[in-house]
Chains A and B, each alone.
Chain A
Amino acid sequence: MSLAVKAVGIRKSFGSHEVLKGLDLEVAYGEVLCILGPSGSGKSTFLRCINHLETPNSGYVWIDGAIMGYALHRGALQELPIRQLRAQQSQLGMVFQHFNLFAHRTVLGNVIEGPMVVRGLSRAKAEARAMELLEQVGMAGKASSYPSQLSGGQKQRVAIARSLAMEPRVMLFDEPTSALDPELVGEVLEVMRNLARGGTTMIVVTHEIGFAREVADRVVVMIDGEIRETGAPGQVLSNPGDPRVRSFLSRVLA
């Protein structure tokens, strides 16, 4: 198996508060990795460091042949111009907790924005591809609606289609169901399940233990900015070695 993402010694502080204490992580192509952990453990920050929405204070992320945001030059990491960083970022799809759909664009407009503006696709090509993706997430019927007219679950499915339209190497999900009404969680998880089955490489920060158990190839548990447990979901979720992981899981599984 070939590596898609390798994070090396990621540290991140906000002020004097150290959120990430030197994290290492490897994700292989086709793998589905779920990151679990209590609120405030730094899982979202870690995900945002992976695609440089937050710049790590030290450490770096390697993505299939290149280091995010830097060029290796005479033993130092030279910061890349912003345009090149954005090109790298577009190889990682990101799905946000609060959807972040472009409020002034229709559903279709949201999905074609990246391919047209960043990849330079023609409108016709971008729209054809976008309609396929919207079909895939069950939102083709709402192509001309505006985000404000959609339910949370529908917004999140459109957001997934928007990310997929850039044909990213890896899809990142930042608590994609945490902002949803309970009855809308299922439709989003279903779309993600289908993606996983189709072989998409995914890193999912989630509170959905059931989803992790069923879909993840590997589970990572973060506590206080450190990875405390990593392994197959069956092993980690039912028989964790670390006592703090055990107490966290007993709380969420109860």
Chain B
Amino acid sequence: MTQSPPKPTSALSLPDLPGPDTPIRRLRHPGRWLSGIAVILLLAMIGRAFAVGQIQWPVVGEFLTAGVIITGFGWTLLISACALVLGVVLGFVFGIMRHSENPILRFAAWLYVWIFRGTPVLLQLLIWFNIALVFPRLYIPGLVDERMVDVVTPFVAAVLGLGVNEGSYLTEVVRGGIGSVDRGQKEAAHTLGMTPGQTMRRIILPQTLRLILPVLGNSAIGMLKFSSLAATIAMGEMLNAAQRIYFINGAVIELLFVCAVWYLAGTTVLSIGQYYLERYFGRDTAATTRDRRWFKGWARRPAVEGEV
């Protein structure tokens, strides 16, 4: 095979051709070096600005491990975990209802999503916190009969507000996940004689779970951060604790930085956990990357996937 030379004048004649072991020199990329150096300079400038700015770094270090902050972070973790569990449970219940044969169940699930996805989560938190204004007493015959303010503590309001809101998002995610499990999987289960419940539990949901795992990971990370909203309803989580400290000592930015450090630590751990969880559930297909792509484009994806 001959390759056409760039210019006719520089034509390489056959006797001039080099040997097979002629060394190959890689193309240089001066542009990459330049842009890399520019970015490093920029980062250094930002870093220096904060270092010489009016932040008392020793105070940040001092409060990083203060008892109140650590306790607050504990509450943050607890609220996030409880709300996430509630959200996942609600997401699966209503997501399955969205696929129900019964139009009233489908409508109820749609209504849930419409209301709780359609209003701000901060607003929902405030409503849960003040629910006693609507229902002064919580009365379930034979089970509970108490004043609502005693039942819906700031912690309960935070978990309900964040969890119910998250559930409305996860409902849509689960609905999409179930819809994208190949219809043939269900048919195969039916021909084996599996009941609808068995088919859902043993065939559809495990495959749905694998598909939506990246989204659940994002939910967990988002939840950790959204739990800071609970500071507005007098829940003593980390941000609230930090605020109470800086109202006294005035070290506003220092304490906010302390929070930032802990939130980053938390989200980093969750990201690592997400990676391993996805790898574990992706063991039946080597192509975890394909699932990631599925996640990014799930809204546009047709309901029925091709054969697996």
B193 near A118 with CB under 8 A, answer: yes
- Tell me the minimal C-beta distance from A204 to chain B in angstroms: 15
The answer to whether residues A146 and B285 also contact, given A96-B188, A102-B185 and a CB cut-off of 8 A, is yes
Q: Is the CB of A89 within 8 A of B187?
A: no
Q: Is A60 an interface residue (CB 8 A)?
A: no
Interchain nearest-CB distance for A59 vs B (Å): 20
Specify which chain A residues have a CB less than 8 angstroms from the CB of B284 in the assembled complex.
Answer: 103-105, 146-148
B window 187-204: CB within 8 A of A: 187-196, 198, 202-203
| Chain A residues with CB under 8 A of B187 | 53, 94, 96, 100
Interface assignment of B307: CB less than 8 Å from any CB of chain A: yes
Whether A53 and B192, one on each chain, are in contact in the complex, defined by CB atoms closer than 8 angstroms, is no
- For A148, list chain B residues within 8 Å (CB): 284-287, 308
How far is the CB of A203 from the nearest CB of chain B, in Å?
13
Pair A86/B285 contact, Cβ less than 8 Å: no
Tell me whether A90 and B188 are in contact (CB under 8 A).
Answer: no
Interface string of B62-92 (1 = CB under 8 A from A): 0000000000000000000000000000000
**Contact between B285 and A114 (Cβ–Cβ < 8 Å)?**
no
B193 lies within 8 A of A100 (CB): no
Q: How large is the interface on B (under 10, 10 to 19, 20 to 34, 35 or more residues)?
A: 20 to 34
In whole angstroms, how far apart are the Cα atoms of A100 and B203 in the complex?
11
Type the 1/0 row for A87-123, where 1 means its CB is closer than 8 Å to any CB of B. Answer: 1011011101011111111000000011001100000
- In whole angstroms, how far apart are the Cα atoms of A101 and B196 in the complex? 18
**Interface centre among A82, A98, A99, by most B CB within 10 Å?**
A98
Evaluate whether A94 and B188 lie within 8 angstroms (CB atoms) in the complex, with A103-B285, A113-B202 already known.
yes
Contacts of B207 in A (CB 8 A): 103-104
B136 interfacial by beta-carbon distance below 8 Å: no
A118 in contact with B192 (CB, 8 Å): yes
Q: Is the CB of A45 closer than 8 A to any CB of chain B?
A: no
Nearest CB of chain B from residue A123's CB, rounded to whole Å: 14
Whether A83 is near chain B, meaning CB under 8 Å from some CB there, is: yes
Contact of A166 with B185 at beta-carbon distance under 8 Å, contacts A100-B307, A103-B308, A146-B284 already known? no
Docked CA distance A114–B189 (Å): 8
Per the bound structure, the CA–CA distance linking A172 and B192 in Å amounts to 12
Complex Cα spacing A118 to B196, Å: 12
**From residue A178, how far is it (CB to closest CB) to chain B in Å?**
12
Complex Cα spacing A24 to B189, Å:
27
| A82, B196: Cα distance in complex, Å | 8
Asked if residues A100 and B195 are in contact (CB atoms below 8 Å), the reply is: no
Q: Does B184 contact A (CB under 8 A)?
A: yes
- How far is the CB of A131 from the nearest CB of chain B, in Å? 18
B179 to chain A, nearest CB (A): 16
- Closest Cβ–Cβ distance, residue A101 to chain B (whole Å): 7
* B275-308 interface code vs A (CB 8 A; 1 in, 0 out): 0000000011111000000000000000000011
Cβ-based interface call for B98 (8 A): no
**CA of A166 to CA of B193, assembled, Å:** 9
Supposing A90-B191, A146-B285 touch, asked if A100 and B184 sit within 8 A by C-beta, the answer is: yes
Is A99's CB under 8 angstroms from B307's CB?
yes
Chain A, residue nearest B307 (CB): A98
A146 → B minimal CB distance (Å):
4
Cα–Cα, bound, A86→B195 (Å):
6
Shortest distance from the beta carbon of A58 to any chain B beta carbon, whole Å: 22
Contacting residue for A179 out of B283, B286, B307, CB 8 A: B307
Q: Which chain A residue lies CB-closest to B209? A: A104
Residue of B nearest to A109 (CB): B284
Known: A53-B191, A146-B285, A163-B191. A100 touches B185 (CB 8 A): yes
Q: Are B191 and A89 interface neighbours, CB within 8 A?
A: yes
* A53 and B194 in contact, given A103-B285, A113-B202 (Cβ under 8 angstroms): no
Q: Which residues of B contact A157 (CB under 8 A)?
A: none
Give the CA-CA distance A92 to B193 in the complex, in Å.
9
Q: Which B residues from 174 to 231 make CB contacts under 8 A with A? A: 182, 184-185, 187-196, 198, 202-203, 206-207, 210
A51 at the interface (CB under 8 A from B): yes
Question: Which residue among B188, B191, B194 has the maximum number of chain A CB atoms within 10 Å of its CB?
Answer: B191
Smallest CB-CB separation from B207: which chain A residue? A104
4 closest cross-chain pairs (CB), A and B: A90-B193, A100-B184, A114-B192, A98-B307
Beyond the given pairs A96-B188, A100-B185, A146-B285, 10 more chain A to chain B contacts, judged by CB atoms under 8 angstroms and listed by A's residue number, are A82-B195, A86-B190, A86-B193, A92-B191, A94-B187, A102-B185, A103-B182, A113-B194, A147-B308, A166-B192
Residues in chain B within 8 A of chain A (CB atoms): 182, 184-185, 187-196, 198, 202-203, 206-207, 210, 283-287, 307-308
Mark A residues whose CB is within 8 Å of B: 51, 53, 82-83, 86-87, 89-90, 92-94, 96, 98-105, 113-114, 117-118, 146-148, 159, 162-163, 166, 179
A-B residue pairs in contact (CB < 8 Å), sample of 15? A82-B196, A83-B195, A86-B190, A86-B195, A90-B192, A96-B187, A98-B184, A101-B188, A103-B185, A103-B285, A104-B207, A104-B210, A117-B198, A162-B188, A166-B193
